[in-house]
Every structure is written in C-alpha cells, then in structure tokens.
A and B are shown apart, each in its own frame.
Chain A
Amino acid sequence: MTYNSSRRGFLKGAGATVLGASVLPFLKVLPASAAGNDVVVAVTGQTINSLDIHRTGTNRPSYQVAVNVYDRLVSFGTKTLEDGSLSYDYSVIEPEIAESWEFTDDGMAIVFKLRPAGKFQDGSPITAADVKWSFDRAVSVGGFPTVQMKAGSLEKPEQFEAVDDLTFKINLLRKSKLTLPDLAVPVPMIINSKVAIANATDEDPWAMEYLHKNPSGSGAFKVASWKPGEQLVYERNDEWTSGPLPSVKRVVLREVPSPATRRALLERGDVNMSFNMPNKDAKELSETEDITIATTPIENAIYCLCPNLSFEPFKDKKVRQAIAWSVPYEEVFQTAAYGRGAPMWGGASTTPADIAWPQKFPYSTDLDKAKALLEEAGHGSGFEVPLSISLSQTDWMEPAALLIQENLAKIGIKATIEKIPGANWRTASLVEKRLPLHLETFGGWLNYPCYYFFWAYLEGHLFNSSNYRNEEIETLTGETLHMNVDDPDYAPKIKRMIEIVWDEVPRIALWQPALNVGTREVSGYEYWFHRQLDVRGLAKS
C-alpha cells in the first residue's frame, strides 16, 4: 500500500490547488467538507480487515472493497423508493463487464460477451480467461465465497469456459432462477489474473496473500491507502470502462468505533456520511437540517425470537404460539428499533394473501390468549428458561430481551437473560444450535422467500437455530428453490410454506430491521442488499 504519499496526493487531488505542508494551516480549522468538492468523508464503526472477499476470515465490512474496486459480469439496476432514497433493483440485471448475455437453446448454459474496451486498473484488457480464473478461485478456495457461489449452482471449475478472449460460458448444473442474480453479488468479482498469477506461489496458487493487500480489479475506484483499524481511502479510477465515471474523486472512510462520536462528527459537519447509524440517532437526526437520513428496510431480513425445538417445552407448538402471543411487539419495536424498520406482527389472517416476504405474522400481544395456550399445553404453572443474546448486538437485543422477559414473566415463564460473547455466539446459536430461547437475525442476499426458507427453516441448515423440521417445508423448499417465480406452481407453494411456519412459529418475527445512513452535502447514496457502502454513485452537492 502507498501509505506515505497518499495524504499529500489526496489533498492535491482534492482540487484544493497545490497544497504542501506550508499551506496546510488554512485547512486545519475547516471541516472535512471544505477539503474539496470531489472528496467525501464517511465514518463507520467497523474495521475492514482485508481487500479480498475470497480470503478466509474476511469480515463483512470488507465486502465493500469487492463492490467498489472490482467489477462483476453483471450488476443490478437502480430504483427510487417511495421516500425518495435510492435502492438497487433486484428485478433488473444490468451489464457490467459483460456487454450482453444469452441462454443457450436448451437453457443449460449462459454465454457472456465481454466489453471489447474493458480494461483493468493497470490498463490491461479484461479477457474471458480472467473471468474463468476468478470464478475458479471463488469455487475452489472454500469458506464463504464457495458457499455463496454454490447458492447460484456455481460449484466447480469445469462449469466455466473461456470460449475466446471476449466470450465466456457458464455450463449450468441445473436450471435455477438463482444463478444470474448470484453473479451480481460481491463474490464473483473479476480479478486481473495476469497480475494475480504472477504473484502466486506453489503454496498459494490463488495469490491469497497478494490480493489480500493489493486489489487488482477493474472497478471504479482504487484503494489509495488502507490502514486496518484506522481508515481506507478510495481514489477514482479515471479509466473505468464498466460504467459512467463517478463524480467524486476520493472517498475517505474513517473507522470510529464509538457511535456517540460518529453522531457528533456528522452533526458537527466534520464528515459527510455516517454509515449504518444506530436507530436512535437516525430517528433524532432525521429532523436536522442539512442531514439526510436514508432508512431502508433490509430486504429478506427479520429479527426473530427463536424457541429451540430440541428443548422440552418448545417441542409443543402451543408453547411456541403462547410465546408469540406474549411478546410486547409495539414496545419492542419502539424501544429497541426506535420505530425504524417495518412491523412484522398483527397480520390479519393466518393464511397469506400474497408471497411477499417478509410479511406480518398473524400474532400480536394478547397475554390472555398466551396464558390459555400455555394452560392447554400443560404448562400453566410456567417454567424457567435462559433467554440468550449476543454481546456484540446488545444495542437492539438487550432492550428487546428485557421487554420480552418482562412479558414472559406475566404468563409464568421465568426467563434469565444470558449474554454470550460475540466469538461464541455463532458457535452456540447457529453451529451447535444449543440455545433454548434466543434472538436471531437472518437476512438473505438473494431476495426470494424460498431462499430465506432454505437457510432458516430446513433442518440442519445454518440459520435454522430452532432445530425446526417439517416434512412439507423440506419438500416444498426443495421444489421452489430453483423454480422460476412466474411458474404457476410457485405462488401456491410459497403461500403454503408461509402458512405452515406461521402456524408452527419456530421463528417468532419481531420486526424487519432497517439500514440507516446519514448524509450531509452528499447525494447518490444507494441501498444494496449486501448492506455495504457503494461509493460509485456518490456526488457532492
């Protein structure tokens, strides 16, 4: 990384004329926004720990590097939401590195034509060989990238074929509606294979060590400087060939762990953007002049209370329903989420009207009903149970758990709150699935109900932390997962699935969470399913 020269270069590039150290005094008292008309300063609470999404141990915030510094074959479109904010459009797939694509007649292969002018950041042309190498890498390195590729039925290198320099072919294992959208998620990014191979070794054939610190892509931005734990600076790639040139030249992403400090920085105008703000700050700052808050409900995501079916009282459906009737939904939503997001309770009917997901579960707060159900189940005298929450998500889990605990006590269930350290949370809740009653937060990248069911309701699957199993759900999910949405069988099957999980409630929906982003003097922020900052569309206003 070019650590040393970057700041000098940064200021020069900022359009603030020629700035040596001697001119700096003029700048030092000015807020960041004055640093230049094409520089955006953003703050986030999390650390970017790698510049390579394929690497083992790369954390979620690092995915944005894959978005901004690399391109994919295809991307999603953009739409304007009701509140005027921008969102990616799941229904539209747009070209990125690929100029066009078509399915073969039997529907068992997709052929992509690459842009002839496509260039990597080092100026070399983008070829089908680069695409093949990148895809081979994603399905071979194991861990998260391989799992994500598999979701789109992209499983082995033999599927990928570089027909000629500008023609790339994917042979499909099965016809699936998930394949094309899965090519637009951050994982199947296109790497400059010539550079990567030159830096690969026998022990490290995929150049994991090199790409970890030296991204080699074709994206709209380059990484000008990266100090894990401090900041990452993006610099525009003026030769970007996969889309319109971004209007900002530099984006400085500063890591500030304290949410109170992040709020103060945005309020004082020292930064242009605060990514992933706490709900409370978003609610209160939305009335502030000069600050725009975009609150986008996260697609295909629900915050849930999960009773674990491996534990005795929860094997009985009535006990689970009793808990679902006892949750103080409105209070939880207002206290834990400050009303940001969408309510997921109080649905009118026990059968869904459409296949929207998530949609309101047919439960609300009714302690008498809860007591009666508990009585029927033979637990009228109540029982004791630990209610587990994760230490790294206490911001919403703790208030939610406290309110739930209080209402459970009213129907005779004595819950004790157990905080589990972040490192242990995944093991306990998702892998070993040993928490009797806990809070959970799954959201699927690919926006289909069947995709959600696949991860969260099938036995043994990672996010099914309730150890739920229902034969009909197993069959229906398998049938619908790859089926086209406009297939006449799709909607009835999905409705049936929703009806079952509403009745059996292995996951009690609390609310649909939202992603809050505050901006100041910056427009063009766009929500993405991956919930990472896409800096390509930003503009100083």
Chain B
Amino acid sequence: MSGRLATVGYRIAHAIPVILGVVVVSFLLTRALPGDPAVYFAGPAADEASIAQIRTALGLDKSLPEQFFVYAGDVLSGDLGQSISTGQPVLSDLANRLPASLELTLTALLLSCAIAIPLGVLAATRPGTTVDHLCRVLVTAGVSLPTFFTGVVLIYVFYYLLGIAPSPLGRLDFIYIEPDHVTGFYLIDAAIAGDWETWIGAVKQLILPAITLALFTLAPLARMTRAAMLSALSSDYIRTARAAGLTENKVLFTYAFRNALLPVITTLGMVFSFTLGANVLVEKVFAWPGIGSYAVEALVVSDYAAVQGFVLAMALLFVALNLIIDIAYTLIDPRIGFETR
C-alpha cells in the first residue's frame, strides 16, 4: 500500500506544474482576445479621456509582465478579481454558478451511465446481432445532433406544443421558493430542508437539459464499454476462465467487466470534460445560470478576470478529476505502476 500512497503523492506533486501552466496559458489567452475591455466598459458615449480613466482603473495600462504578476499575486491571496460584466467578485460568481453546472452535468452523466453501460455490455455479449446493431444506432443517433438543436427541439415539443415540461427558465420556476443554501445543489438542499415540492420543481427543470446532455454522452460511454468488453471477452484469461468452467455471469462481471472498466473510466473523464464544455450551449438554451454560460458571456466581452477565474476553477476541478482517475487506474489495473519503472 505504501507504494500506492507514494503514487498518489507523486500524482499530486505533478498536478502543481499543470496548475501553473493553466494560470499562464489562461492569462495569455485572455490577453490575446480581440477587443479593448476599457472601450467596451466605458459605455456608449465615452470619449478618449474616460476610456483612459477606465484603462487605468482596470490596470490595463501596465505592461503584460506587470499585469501577470499582479494577477498571480491576487490569485495566491485568493482574490480572483471583479467581473466587470456582472459587477460581482469572480469568486462569488463562480461559487454561485458552479453548483448549477455541476448539478446539471452530474445528473446528465448519471442518467447517461445508467443507460449506456448496460447497453454497451448487452451489445458486447451479443456482437453482430440485431440487439447490437440497435444499440449502435440508438446511441449514435443521440451523439449525432448538436446539443443546442436537441435542446430547442425538446423545448418546442415538450414545452411549447405539448405543455408537459415546465417553462425553460433556469433552475427553478419563479413560483418555487429557492432552498436554503447548503451545498448549492438544489436537489440536495431541498432534500435536506425536506421541501419536496421544491425538490420536484427542481427535478422538473433539470429533466430537459439533462436529457439533452445525456443523449449526447450516451455514445462515447456505450461504445467504449462495448469495445472494451469485446476485447476483454476475446482475451486469453477469459478463455481460461471459461475453460475452467466458471459461470458466464462470473466471467462477464468479475473478470471481463472489471478489466473493461479501465478504458470506460478514461472515457468517463473525457466525457465529463467534454460535457462541461458542451454545457455552455445547453445552458444558453435553457437559461441555466451555470459557469458555462458565464464563461461565454465573459469571453465575448473580454472580461479578463472572469475568464481567468473560470479557467482556474475548471483547472482545479479537472486536476482533481484526473487524480481520481489515475488513482482508480492503479487500483483497477495492477500493470500500471509508474513509480517502479
């Protein structure tokens, strides 16, 4: 176990340069964006003098290295700056909006896993049959549509035509009372407060956007499950296990599935990253107050502080996620053990 602990420590140590890299890259990327935020924020009738005033106020009159050190110093002291487009501190903006995005993404991924993994296993155990083909067609159809299009179509059909779905107005219809803030996840907060009406209200708002995202993430998960299961099932140890007379279920779930999990988890990590990105578009369609839509708005108006803060928050999230995946790797696949090689 100490070897594994060392591996974990080694991983964490290696995450630090990534975060530094992200800070630098995000700083440079935001500075490479076109446009002059000072002009944009000076308002409709500003003249040269007022633009210059705002440039100074934003610290944009300093040289790039100076701006970077100011920024790095602020980040170290936990200050991500003020977003100019929402007028709030970036940290509080992110804290308000991150749970919204995570709630949506995780719900979508759970939904997706619950459908995709059984589908993938099913397809892999019956390769070449109608079931297999049907699975392929189904999941492929889901991934083949742009999320914003699916979103609009779902709204059109279920809200506009049928009137089943609630109005696409963000996380809660305004007639519900927002649950007291504990985690920021409405489903959890409402459950803690025992307010099931609100819980149901929040679920209703979640359904359409979560389906939109889940449809889109079914394919990579199901396909990777199928591919990994197929290659696991055709490997020597499975043949051995079968020859040894183990039951089909034991072979399937204990041996094949465990080995197939490795690429599935890699894919899950990728899909999570991809989904948070795809969120941007879904959030826009469903007026979902998440960080994706926040980042897009910020990017469009060159709101440096907001873009950097967003990227930094994402980076931390992803570094943590990758760590978990790596650790899961070492637990699942004993062949990987970097510290010994």
Contact surface of A with B, Cβ cutoff 8 Å: 3-4, 7-8, 11, 21-22, 24-25, 27-28, 30, 32, 35, 41, 47, 49-50, 55-60, 142-144, 146-148, 151, 212, 227-231, 252, 254-258, 260-261, 264-265, 267-268, 270, 391-392, 420-427, 430-431, 455, 462
Q: In the complex, are the beta carbons of B45 and A35 less than 8 A apart?
A: no
Tell whether, in the assembled complex, residue B35 and residue A229 are in contact, meaning their CB atoms are under 8 Å apart: no
B138-171 interface with A by 8 A CB criterion: 152, 155-156, 159-160, 163, 167-170
In residues 174-194 of chain B, which contact A (Cβ within 8 Å)?
Answer: 174-178, 180-181
Residue B201 contacts which of A8, A28, A55 (CB distance < 8 angstroms)? A28
Report yes or no: B41 in contact with A56, Cβ–Cβ below 8 A: yes
A56→B168 CA distance, assembly (Å): 32
Contact yes or no, B287 A455, CB < 8 A: no
From A8, A28, A231, A252, name the one whose CB has the most chain B CB atoms within 10 angstroms. Answer: A28
Asked whether B53 is an interface residue with its Cβ less than 8 Å from the other chain, the reply is yes
| CB within 8 Å: A-B pair count | 176
Most buried by A among B39, B201, B285, B289: B39
The residue that B45 contacts in the complex, of A3, A58, A144, A267, with Cβ under 8 A, is: A144
Q: Are A57 and B87 in contact (CB under 8 A)?
A: yes
Given contact pairs A22-B197, A41-B174, a sample of 19 additional A-B residue pairs in the complex whose CB atoms are under 8 Å apart: A4-B178, A7-B176, A7-B177, A25-B197, A28-B176, A49-B85, A56-B41, A57-B85, A148-B45, A228-B87, A229-B293, A230-B289, A258-B168, A258-B284, A420-B34, A422-B40, A423-B34, A426-B35, A462-B47
Which residue of A7, A8, A35, A60 has the most chain B CB atoms within 10 A of its CB atom?
A7
Contact of B44 among A24, A60, A227 (CB under 8 A): A60
Q: A35-B175, A423-B33 are in contact. Are A21 and B198 (CB under 8 A)?
A: yes
**Complex Cα–Cα for A55 and B156 (A):** 39
* 3 interchain residue pairs of minimum CB distance: A423-B35, A144-B43, A424-B35
Partner of B155, one of A3, A144, A264: A264
Contact A426 B87 (CB under 8 A): no
Q: Please determine whether B287 and A256 come into contact, CB atoms closer than 8 angstroms.
A: yes
Q: Tell me whether B257 is interfacial, beta carbon within 8 Å.
A: no
* B42, CB-defined interface residue at 8 Å: yes
Docked complex: B73-115 residues within 8 A CB-CB of A: 84-88, 93, 96-97
Residue numbers of B with Cβ under 8 A of A are 33-37, 39-47, 49-51, 53-54, 57, 84-88, 93, 96-97, 152, 155-156, 159-160, 163, 167-170, 173-178, 180-181, 195, 197-198, 201, 284-287, 289, 293-294, 297, 300-302
B interface majority secondary structure = loop
Contact in complex: B46, A147 (CB < 8 Å): yes
State how many angstroms separate the Cβ of B149 from the closest Cβ of chain A.
11
Contact A58 B43 (CB under 8 A): yes
Chain B residues with Cβ below 8 Å from A462 are: 45-47
A303 to B70, CA, bound (A): 42
Min CB–CB distance A214 → chain B (angstroms): 12
In the complex with contacts A35-B175, A47-B86, A56-B41, A229-B47 CB distance below 8 A: no
The answer to whether A422 touches B47 (Cβ under 8 A) is: no
The contact sample of 20 A-B pairs, CB cut-off 8 A, is: A4-B178, A21-B198, A28-B173, A47-B297, A49-B84, A50-B87, A58-B87, A143-B43, A143-B54, A144-B45, A228-B86, A252-B174, A257-B284, A261-B286, A264-B159, A264-B168, A268-B159, A424-B34, A425-B35, A426-B36
Chain B residues with Cβ below 8 Å from A254 are 169-170, 174, 287
Known: A24-B197, A229-B294. A431 touches B41 (CB 8 A): no
CB distance from A77 to the nearest CB of B (A): 25
A268: chain B residues within 8 A (beta carbon)? 159-160, 163, 167
**A57 CA / B54 CA spacing, docked (Å):** 9
Which chain A residue shows the least CB distance to B156? A264
CA distance A229 to B293 in the complex (A): 9
